[in-house]
Amino acid sequence: TERRIPQPNSREMPLITNVSDYEELARQKLPKMVYDFYAGGAEDQWTLKENKEAFSKILFRPRVLIDVSHIDMSTSILGYKISMPIMVAPTALHKLAHQEGEVASAQATAAAGTIMTLSSWSSCSIEEVNSSAPGLRFFQLSVFKDRDIVQQLVRRAENAGYKAIAVTVDAPRLGCREADVRNRFTLPENVALKCFEGLDLSKMDKTNASGLAAYVTSQIDSSLSWKDIKWLQMITWLPILVKGVITAEDARLAIECGVAGIIMSNHGGRQLDYLPATISCLEEVVREAKGRVPVFLDSGIRRGTDVFKALALGASGVFIGRPVLFALAVDGKAGVRNALRMLRDELEITMALSGCTSLKDITRDRVITESDMI
Ligand code: FNR
């Protein structure tokens, strides 16, 4: 008999109280192949685990007896005002989680008053998302070998009113996610890579152990270098963010190149295993940036306290990846809306209990890291 899955917040099930609850429910609800694709990391999954653990080693130094009856979490990103410093990272194939796919995620993100980044590997098209959801969006660009396709994607993002291009630089090849190999991960018939419509997907070898990964890898331009970032700047007037920088050396090159911002990321532990958590490298990059460009961070954010820690160490905002996918899987648009609301509420209470009434109060002295204890 089919296993009944309790509905979120029904009487049969305890209330969903944090975003990690969605992960457990999604694990119960999704086909194993899809859950593993979303949840998994590369090889030993050391970085995947470290992304969580690194946050747990940072502690607070709160100030008390400060009037925190009004808390303002709003901020400006590249000149656009958003309700909170928490944005949605680009993740592939939302239709594997829910039939409405990226449209539902975009609607929920807009309702939360923040920015969603649409992946180049999305299952709803740029235009579809644009016409069904209000709100501010960035477009994540994977640079394919076929530069005509890249130009077309950029042009479509511009025409659809996207506000920035986040070019992914930590994936010249796909990391080896062994669960996907074991599961022989392939796309179900009803889900397609929409942003990719120009390409002939029939060439994809579905019989191969990891047909999709092999296909994707074959399309990605692994010769990408800084000169291509310059080329991108020539073909678009949109600001360029580089996603996947984690060292001061690369931050310097990115700034010399004239990028509008840096998104620190280890791809949620899905690319090079044994990378440190981004939160552990944040200060190095922030020090190099010297306030010239904003530094954002993703990978492992699951709590409002994590967001606070990232801001205290110099981030201008954070992005979340998997929590959106899991909430989408469990409860569609309402799930994503609730996940964003829970993170927002957690950040608010963290600020109140630390004596911060606005984001500018979240300063370095509000946290203690391991390096402070030496
Ligand atoms: C990703 N990520 C990603 N990044 C990117 O630049 N383009 C993409 O298409 C995808 N696709 C993708 C799919 C899935 C299933 C996951 C989990 C992640 C990486 C993503 O943008 C982000 O860096 C991480 O997800 C952040 O880590 P957390 O929040 O998932 O821990």
Q: How far apart are the first and last CA of the chain?
A: 57
Compare 216 and 61 and report the one with higher pLDDT. Answer: 61
The answer, as to whether pTM is greater than 0.90, is: yes
Q: Tell me how many helices (H) and strands (E) the chain has.
A: 14, 12
Q: By CB neighbour count within 10 A (0-12 exposed, 13-18 middle, 19+ buried), where does 172 fall?
A: middle
Residue 217: the pLDDT is 73
Q: Pick from 40, 320, 26, 46: which is nearest to 174 by CA?
A: 40
The SS3 call for residue 11 is: coil
**Does residue 131 have a pLDDT over 60?**
yes
Is there a domain that residue 332 lies in? Answer: yes
Domains held by the chain: number: 1
Cβ–Cβ under 8 Å, residues 142 and 235: no
* Protein residues with CB under 6 Å of any ligand 1 atom: 37-38, 51, 89-92, 119-121, 140, 168, 243, 265, 267-268, 270, 298-301, 320-322, 325
Residue 149: the pLDDT is 86
pLDDT tens for each residue of 241-285: 999 999 999 999 999 999 999 999 999 999 999 999 999 999 999
pLDDT tens for each residue of 312-336: 999 999 999 999 999 999 999 999 9
Is there a domain that residue 360 lies in? Answer: no
Is there a domain that residue 8 lies in? Answer: no
Is there a domain that residue 126 lies in? Answer: yes
- Structural domain that includes position 85: 19-56+79-349
> Has the ipTM of the complex gone over 0.90?
yes
CA 175 to CA 270: how far, in whole Å?
6
pLDDT tens for each residue of 4-47: 565 666 656 668 999 999 999 999 999 999 999 999 999 999 99
Is there a domain that residue 185 lies in? Answer: yes
Non-local CB neighbours of 120 within 8 Å, separated by 6+ positions: 90, 139, 140, 141, 142, 153, 168, 195, 196
> Which protein residue has the closest C-alpha to ligand 1 atom 11?
91
**Does residue 209 have a pLDDT over 80?**
no
Annotated binding site for FMN: 90-92, 119, 140, 168, 243, 265, 298-302, 321-322
Residue 211: the pLDDT is 60
Place of tokens 């209330």: 15
Give the Å distances, CA to CA, from 106 to 9, 19, 38, 110: 23, 18, 18, 6
Tell me which residues are annotated as active site: 267
Could you give phi then psi for residue 317, rounded to 5 degrees? 175, 170
Compare 269 and 213 and report the one with higher pLDDT. Answer: 269
**Does residue 201 have a pLDDT over 70?**
no
Read off the pLDDT of each residue in 86-96 and give the average, rounded to a whole number.
97
**Does residue 119 have a pLDDT over 70?**
yes
**Ligand 1 test: best mutation among 91, 271, 272, 306, most atoms within 8 Å of CB?**
91
> Which protein residue has the closest C-alpha to ligand 1 atom 18?
91
Place of tokens 């690319």: 271
Cβ–Cβ under 8 Å, residues 94 and 327: no
Alpha carbon 330 to its chain centroid, in Å, reads 19
277 is written with which tokens? 């958590």
CA 131 to CA 238: how far, in whole Å?
20
Q: Give me the count of residues in the chain.
A: 374
Is there a domain that residue 374 lies in? Answer: no
Is there a domain that residue 74 lies in? Answer: no
CATH number, domain at 206? Answer: 3.20.20.70
Q: Which atom of ligand 1 lies closest to the CA of 37?
A: 15
CA 82 to CA 95: how far, in whole Å?
26
Is there a domain that residue 355 lies in? Answer: no
CA 354 to CA 63: how far, in whole Å?
5
